[in-house]
């Protein structure tokens, strides 16, 4: 297992190099003078020249790239144009928020997705199966900014129902559980829907396997047949989907953070894009890419732990 | 109507009476098992033999009530030690499965759960039926592996199915099935997926375990060689019905039903040189199960069929040599050639 | 003396196993490891053996469905392995194949007529205006009836589909048909029909068969000569009477004795082989059968036996065992 993880980490090196080349080129490929872009739109000629010198833009490209990568490795990501603070610091204070938002949302998607997926599979063809699958289709098709706004409307601002008001949660910020519930639901719903559909079809496939018949022939209770014998096998393909889903989740986090005014990476990025704060955009993309690669390694590890048929080496 | 127990020399452990299992689609009902009768003698082996579509596997799954939607047992009785198990609750049924009646299946490669170790899968039986602790069950699992002839059982219990060969996996299946010392073992084509040298090992093992443990066996197979070698009694099935039911020797030495005769004659033998002649064949093919013949199911392919055969379904009757046969030829109503010799080699 | 139609010499088929960090070839599955045999015009030669013995791989290698690793395959005086891909395609007119599952090798969206027409068109053996008649003839020959030509494969039963496979193989007037487990999936009563048909066609069209099967009953009935394979090697070869009634190799004997006989009175002395067939990735040194052979000695573990003929064996009957004489005389001693 250890060897597998090491090998998997080594295999990510080319990916990470690719990502740095991409972010490195981002600034240099957009039309216009990178020094001017990096210095900001209102910079004077002198400032631009200064920036050019400071960023080493007079050096040959390979040297520039080497400088950039060594900066990335040592945690020096340059300074924000807008407020002059180190980009690394800006990211550091926000990354925890975004990661926890993504983590809780994934947790919610996996939890709801598997429960509803199994529920529907066991009741294949019945009304409850159909209803769950229709609900999943809705969950999948709802844009999450819209879902976020609806949730705020009903559960933050709230409605009077009988004797109480449904404004149980808060519509902005991150930290207390009242603040966290709505964004997590907003971000996790689509994933839950996808995982539910995947779990259902995977369960249906597994439940027809010979070894399920063997379990029944042993006298195993149907509940245990479903949860112990079938589910563990059915989860193997679901794990892969969870990994891919995480990418979509990071994209969704950008929107969700803005809807709920959460001071995370996504919001930082949107702000930076609006104010053309390229060092931040550049590093934000880099961080997102690293997160995605890292999560997919974890998924691979879990996949291998579940699937005994794959030889670890 | 004859009784299936009539031909047995022993007490029956299981008697199946007029079992009917059907599969329902939107348009029609497929009668996979259509009024099947047989009995399994205590400590002996009954073979159920038939080609694809004969309903032999559905019959075996019906005995354990493992038929899944859209299939359903719609009639008959299954008497296990005198009690009709079709009347039992699902919870009572679970106490029988894997405990008093066990089953092994055709595909050892897919019949074991890939994500659990061999030991975990054998232990489960002990834990369900004998309330054993995990540790004790694991110890007993290793003993079971030893019983079925798997070397270094203490290491093997920790292995996953994919680490074992097909023959080894079938041994594990047998270990699971025999864990709780069942009185009846149903083996559904247990060696069909295996090579002959491995098949020989598994059949030998089953015979040996039967001698030592005394369980009864239902051997479901399409292989007449396996039947001749392992069974004491045989039920020959065709399109959901038993057409001939007798002691093994009587079936092979003195087959009565034209289908049994046809099967035996169409089989090329490795131990006899037939010379450069054509194999005898059963003409045509098995009709589609949603379009059953009106009379005898075999009439469309039977070289002796008369109008009576096409019109009316014969009952299972006892013939003079003791075989129970579902064929008009052996009844008083027979309207064909009175001197017909079913087992005579036809010249082509 | 009939002439050789197919000469296989020292044929090897290794499949690489990729692995390691860089996906290099780290080992080989030695599926077929140096086999030599001839097939004469008009005869049926069977290759028998258990799974993993390389019998199907041999068939595929001869047809170059997989490119063989080494060896020679001479067909009708021509070196098949030297042909270009294009010439090989043309050559396939003379070498046809029938598989176990005919359904997997025919396009389910084509009618039987389209399937046969396509085969005729590819090899262009019959002028266009005569194709309809040829198809009608073929359908009659394989016992399906010309009126069924416009039906789809799924409308036929398993046995009938195998007849379609045979009709397609026959359509281009081949010389050699390689039948790979062609009747294995069929029920006994249907199997007999197809076997009879194949024998009939052999007489009518002067066909040569290479019949690959694990079913020794079928093999005894259909073959003139038999090749027994074990782990990529030929262990015994000979006319069928010799192989079935006078086997010399311990594996052949064990294999034959393992088959259940459909006769409850049959008293067979069974040689029960222990264990499983070893992996063809690292096959045993010396004689490949030594790990399971009840007669194995030190010599068997070291030295690989060659095929040879001994006293009491018919001409052309050969076994690959060091101790055939001793085992036969009962003087063999396992140290």
User: Which stretch of A49-58, C117-126, C231-240, C315-324 has the lowest confidence by average pLDDT?
Assistant: A49-58
CA distances from C51 to A39, B165, C61, C67 (A): 72, 12, 17, 21
Claim to verify: residue A27 and residue A125 sit in the same structural domain: no
Domain end among C244, C262, C280: C262
Cβ–Cβ of B97/A218 closer than 8 Å?
yes
Question: How buried is residue C290: exposed, middle or buried, by Cβ count under 10 Å (0-12/13-18/19+)?
Answer: buried
pLDDT tens per residue across span C169-226:
999 899 999 999 999 888 888 899 999 999 999 999 999 999 999 999 999 999 999 9
Q: Do residue A248 and residue A112 come from a single domain? A: yes
**What range does the domain containing C131 cover?**
103-173
Upper half-sphere CA count for residue C13 (Cβ side, 13 Å): 27
Residues 180-209 of B with CB under 8 A from C: 195-201, 203-204
DSSP state of A226: I
Question: Which residue, C276, A229, A225, A220, is CA-closest to B103?
Answer: A220
Of A4 and C50, the structure prediction assigns the larger pLDDT to C50
Distance, CA of C212 to CA of C227 (rounded, Å): 9
**Chain B residues with CB inside 8 Å of A215's CB?**
113, 124
A208 burial (CB, 10 Å; 0-12 / 13-18 / 19+) is exposed
Q: Please tell me the predicted confidence (pLDDT) of residue B180.
A: 94
> Which residues span the domain enclosing A26?
17-74
Pick from B222, B143, B218: which is nearest to B182 by CA?
Answer: B218
Q: Residue C20: its pLDDT value, please?
A: 62
Burial grade of B2 (CB within 10 A; 0-12, 13-18, 19 or more):
middle
**Comparing A95-109, B81-95, B329-343, C77-91, which segment has the lowest mean pLDDT?**
B329-343
- Which residue in B has a C-alpha nearest to residue C262's C-alpha? B225
Query: Is C39 a member of any domain?
Result: yes
Asked if the C-beta of B88 comes within 8 angstroms of chain A's C-beta atoms, the answer is: no
C306 contacts: CB under 8 Å, gap ≥ 6: C320
Report how far Cα C218 is from the mean position of its chain's Cα atoms: 12
Q: CA A171, CA A153: separation in Å to the nearest integer?
A: 9
Place of tokens 């080349």: A21
C-alpha–C-alpha distance, residues A31 and A16, integer Å:
25
8 Å CB contact of C196 and B278: yes
Q: Kindly report the CATH number assigned to the domain that includes residue A211.
A: 1.10.3720.10
Higher pLDDT, B62 or B109: B62
Count CB-CB contacts under 10 A for residue B38.
Answer: 26
Adjacent-strand bridge partners of C27: C17
Phi and psi, residue C237, nearest 5°: -145, 140
The token pair at C248 is 């010399």
CA distance B271 to C255: 12
CATH of the domain at C40: 3.40.50.300
In this structure, the dihedral spanned by the alpha carbons of residues C258, C263, C267 and C270, taken in order and rounded to 10 degrees, is: 10
Q: Do both A170 and A23 map to the same domain?
A: no
Q: What is the pLDDT along chain A (313 residues), one digit of tens a residue?
A: 777 788 888 888 888 888 888 888 877 777 777 777 777 777 788 888 887 787 777 788 888 888 888 888 888 888 887 788 888 898 999 999 999 999 999 999 999 999 999 999 999 889 999 999 999 999 988 888 899 999 988 888 877 777 777 778 888 888 888 889 999 999 999 999 999 999 999 999 999 999 999 999 999 999 999 999 999 999 998 988 888 888 788 888 889 999 999 999 989 988 888 887 878 888 888 888 888 888 888 888 888 888 876 654 3
| First and final C-alpha spacing in chain A | 8
Residues C119 and C167 in one domain: yes
Peptide bond before B70: cis, by omega within 30 degrees of 0? yes
Residues A232 and A108 both lie in one domain? yes
Cis peptide before B31 (omega within 30 of 0): no
Does residue A297 lie within any of the structural domains? no
Pair A127, A256 in one domain: yes
- The whole-number pLDDT of residue A312 equals 41
Same-domain pairing of C179 and C231: yes
Pairing status of strand B71-80 against strand B83-84: antiparallel
How large is the average pLDDT for residues C154-173?
A: 88
Helices (H), C24-80: 55-62
Residues A156 and A38 in one domain: no
Mean of per-residue pLDDT scores for chain B:
91
Q: Give me the mean pLDDT over the B150-174 stretch.
A: 92
Considering the domain architecture, whether residues A268 and A170 belong to the same structural domain is answered as: yes
Assigned domain for C335 exists: no
**Best mutation site among B113, B126, B184, B193 for testing chain A: the one with the most A CBs within 10 Å?**
B113
Residue C289 lies in a domain: no
Gap between the Cα atoms of B204 and B293, Å rounded: 40
Mean pLDDT of B56-77: 93
- Judge whether residue B346 has pLDDT over 70: no
Same domain, A59 and A109: no
Percent of chain B past pLDDT 70, that is, above it, reads 98
C37/C69 same-domain check: yes
The pLDDT confidence band at residue C270, using thresholds 50, 70 and 90, is confident
Whether residue C18 is found in the same domain as residue C74:
yes
- The last residue of a domain, from among C230, C262, C294: C262
Name chain B contacts of A217, Cβ cutoff 8 Å: 64, 66, 97-98, 102-103
Domain extents in chain B: 113-179, 254-330
Q: Clarify whether residues A53 and A99 are in a common domain.
A: no
Look at chain C and report how many structural domains it folds into. 2
Within-domain flag for A307: no
Select from C240, C262, C284 the last residue of a domain: C262
pLDDT digit string, tens, across residues B206-234 = 999 999 999 999 999 999 999 999 999 99
Among B114, B205, B207, B203, CA closest to B159: B114
Other residues' Cβ atoms within 10 Å of the Cβ of residue A18: 11
Per-residue pLDDT of B105-155, as tens digits, reads 988 889 999 999 999 999 999 999 999 999 999 999 999 999 999 989 999
User: How many domains in chain A?
Assistant: 2
Chains that touch C (3 or more CB pairs under 8 A): B
Up-side HSE of residue A76: CA atoms within 13 Å toward CB?
A: 8
Examine residue A290 and state whether it is found in any structural domain, yes or no: no
In a domain, C285, yes or no: no
Rounded Cα distance, C176 and C44, in Å: 10
Which uninterrupted H or E stretch holds B104? strand B101-104
From C215, C214, C212, select the one nearest C192 (Cα to Cα): C215
Q: Residue B110 is nearest to which of A210, A215, A307, comparing CB atoms? A: A210
Tell me if C58 is assigned to some domain.
Answer: yes
Distance (Å, whole) CA C172 – CA C190: 25
Q: Domain check: are C8 and C89 in the same one? A: yes
- How many Å apart are CA B84 and CA B73, to the nearest integer? 13
The CA-CA-CA angle for residues C171, C175, C178, to 5°, reads 85
Mark yes or no for CB contact B278/C264 under 8 Å. Answer: no
CA distances from B139 to B127, B135, B150 (A): 12, 6, 15
Let me know if residue C255 belongs to a domain: yes
Whether C296 is covered by a domain: the verdict is no
Among A205, A297, A194, A190, CA closest to A238: A194
Contacts of B102 in chain A (CB under 8 A): 217-218
Q: Is the pLDDT assigned to residue B102 strictly greater than 80? A: yes
**Which of B71, B91, B115 would you mutate first to test chain A, the one with the most A CBs within 10 A?**
B115
Residue C212, SS3? strand
Q: Are residues A110 and A243 in the same domain?
A: yes
Rounded Cα distance, B95 and B93, in Å: 5
């Amino acid at each position: 297992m250890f060897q597998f993880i090491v090998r998997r980490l080594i295999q990510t090196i080319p990916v990470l190099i690719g990502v740095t080349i991409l972010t490195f080129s981002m600034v240099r490929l957009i039309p216009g003078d990178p020094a001017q872009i990096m210095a900001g739109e209102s910079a004077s000629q002198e400032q631009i020249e200064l920036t050019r010198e400071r960023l080493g833009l007079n050096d040959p490209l390979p040297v520039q790239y080497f400088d950039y990568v060594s900066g990335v490795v040592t945690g020096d990501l340059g300074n924000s144009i807008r407020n002059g603070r180190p980009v690394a610091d800006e990211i550091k204070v926000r990354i925890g928020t975004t990661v926890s938002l993504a983590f809780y949302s994934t947790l919610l998607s996996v939890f709801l997705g598997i429960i509803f997926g199994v529920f529907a599979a066991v009741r294949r063809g019945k009304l409850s199966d159909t209803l769950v699958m229709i609900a999943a289709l809705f969950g999948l098709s709802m844009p999450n900014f819209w879902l976020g706004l609806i949730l705020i409307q009903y559960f933050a601002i709230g409605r009077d129902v009988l004797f109480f008001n449904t404004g149980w949660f808060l519509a902005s910020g991150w930290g207390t559980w009242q603040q966290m519930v709505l964004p997590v639901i907003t971000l996790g719903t689509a994933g839950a829907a996808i995982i539910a559909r995947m779990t259902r079809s995977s369960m249906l496939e597994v439940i027809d396997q010979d070894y399920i018949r063997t379990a029944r022939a042993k006298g195993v209770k149907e509940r245990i047949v479903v949860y112990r014998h079938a589910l563990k096998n059915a989860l193997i393909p679901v794990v892969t989907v969870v990994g891919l889903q995480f990418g979509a989740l990071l994209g969704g986090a950008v929107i969700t953070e803005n809807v709920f005014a959460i001071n995370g990476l996504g919001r930082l990025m949107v702000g930076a894009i609006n104010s053309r704060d390229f060092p931040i955009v550049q590093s934000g993309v880099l961080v997102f890419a690293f997160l995605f690669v890292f999560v997919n390694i974890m998924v691979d590890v879990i996949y291998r732990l579940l699937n005994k048929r794959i030889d670890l080496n | 109507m004859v009784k299936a127990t009539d031909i047995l020399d022993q007490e029956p452990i299981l008697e199946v009476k007029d079992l009917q299992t059907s599969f329902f689609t939107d348009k029609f009902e497929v009668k996979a098992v259509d009024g099947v009768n047989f009995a399994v003698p205590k400590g002996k082996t009954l073979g159920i033999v038939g080609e694809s579509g004969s309903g032999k596997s559905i019959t075996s799954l019906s005995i354990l009530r493992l038929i899944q939607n859209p299939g359903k047992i719609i009639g008959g009785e299954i008497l296990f030690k005198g009690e009709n198990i079709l009347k039992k609750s699902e919870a009572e049924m679970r106490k029988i499965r894997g405990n008093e009646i066990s089953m092994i299946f055709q595909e050892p490669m897919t019949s074991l759960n890939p994500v659990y170790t061999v030991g975990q899968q054998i232990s489960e039986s002990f834990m369900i039926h004998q309330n054993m602790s995990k540790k004790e069950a694991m110890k007993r699992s290793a003993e079971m592996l030893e019983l079925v002839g798997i070397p270094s059982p203490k290491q093997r219990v920790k292995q996953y199915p994919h680490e074992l060969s097909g023959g080894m996996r079938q041994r594990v299946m047998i270990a699971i099935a025999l864990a709780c010392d069942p009185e009846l073992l149903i083996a559904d084509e247990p060696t069909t997926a295996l090579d002959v040298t491995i098949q020989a090992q598994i059949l030998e093992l089953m015979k040996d375990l039967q001698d030592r443990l005394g369980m009864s066996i239902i051997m479901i197979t399409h292989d007449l060689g396996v039947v001749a070698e392992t069974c004491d009694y045989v039920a020959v099935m065709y399109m959901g019905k038993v057409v001939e039911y007798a002691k093994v020797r009587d079936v092979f030495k003195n087959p009565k039903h034209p289908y049994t005769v046809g099967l035996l004659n169409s089989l090329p033998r490795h131990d006899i040189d037939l010379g450069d002649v054509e194999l005898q064949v059963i003409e045509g093919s098995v009709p589609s199960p949603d379009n059953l013949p009106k009379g005898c199911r075999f009439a469309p392919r039977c070289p002796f069929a008369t109008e009576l055969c096409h019109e009316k379904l014969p009952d299972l009757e006892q013939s003079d040599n003791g075989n129970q046969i579902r064929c008009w030829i052996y009844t008083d109503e027979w309207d064909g050639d009175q001197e017909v010799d079913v087992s005579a080699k036809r010249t082509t | 003396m009939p002439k050789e139609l197919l000469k296989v010499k020292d044929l090897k088929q290794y499949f690489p196993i990729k692995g390691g960090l860089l996906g290099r070839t780290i080992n080989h599955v030695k599926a077929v490891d140096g086999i030599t045999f001839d097939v004469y015009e008009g005869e049926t030669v069977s290759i028998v053996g258990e799974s993993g013995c390389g019998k199907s791989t041999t068939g595929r290698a001869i047809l170059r469905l997989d490119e063989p690793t080494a060896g020679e395959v001479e067909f009708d005086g021509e070196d098949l392995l030297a042909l270009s891909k294009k010439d090989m395609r043309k050559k396939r007119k003379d070498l046809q194949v029938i598989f176990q599952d005919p359904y997997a090798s025919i396009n389910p969206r084509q009618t039987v007529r389209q399937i046969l027409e396509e085969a005729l068109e590819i090899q262009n053996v019959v002028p266009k205006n005569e194709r309809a008649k040829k198809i009608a003839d073929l359908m009659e020959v394989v016992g399906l009836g010309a009126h069924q030509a416009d039906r789809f494969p799924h409308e036929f039963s398993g046995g009938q589909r195998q007849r379609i496979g045979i009709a397609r193989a026959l359509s281009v007037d081949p010389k050699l048909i390689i039948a790979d487990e062609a009747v294995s999936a069929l029920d006994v009563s249907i199997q007999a029909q197809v076997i009879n048909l194949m024998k009939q066609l052999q007489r009518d069209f002067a066909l040569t068969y290479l019949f690959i099967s694990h079913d020794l009953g079928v093999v005894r009935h259909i073959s003139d000569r038999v090749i027994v394979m074990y782990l990529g090697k030929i262990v015994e070869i000979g006319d069928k009477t010799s192989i079935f009634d006078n086997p010399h190799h311990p594996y052949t004997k064990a294999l034959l004795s393992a088959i259940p006989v459909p006769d409850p009175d049959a008293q067979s002395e069974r040689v029960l082989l222990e264990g499983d067939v070893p992996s063809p990735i690292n096959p045993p040194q010396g004689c490949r059968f030594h790990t399971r052979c009840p007669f194995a000695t030190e010599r068997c573990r070291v030295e690989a036996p060659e095929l040879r003929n001994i006293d009491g064996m018919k001409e052309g009957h050969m076994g690959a065992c060091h101790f055939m004489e001793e085992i036969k005389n009962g003087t063999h001693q396992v140290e």
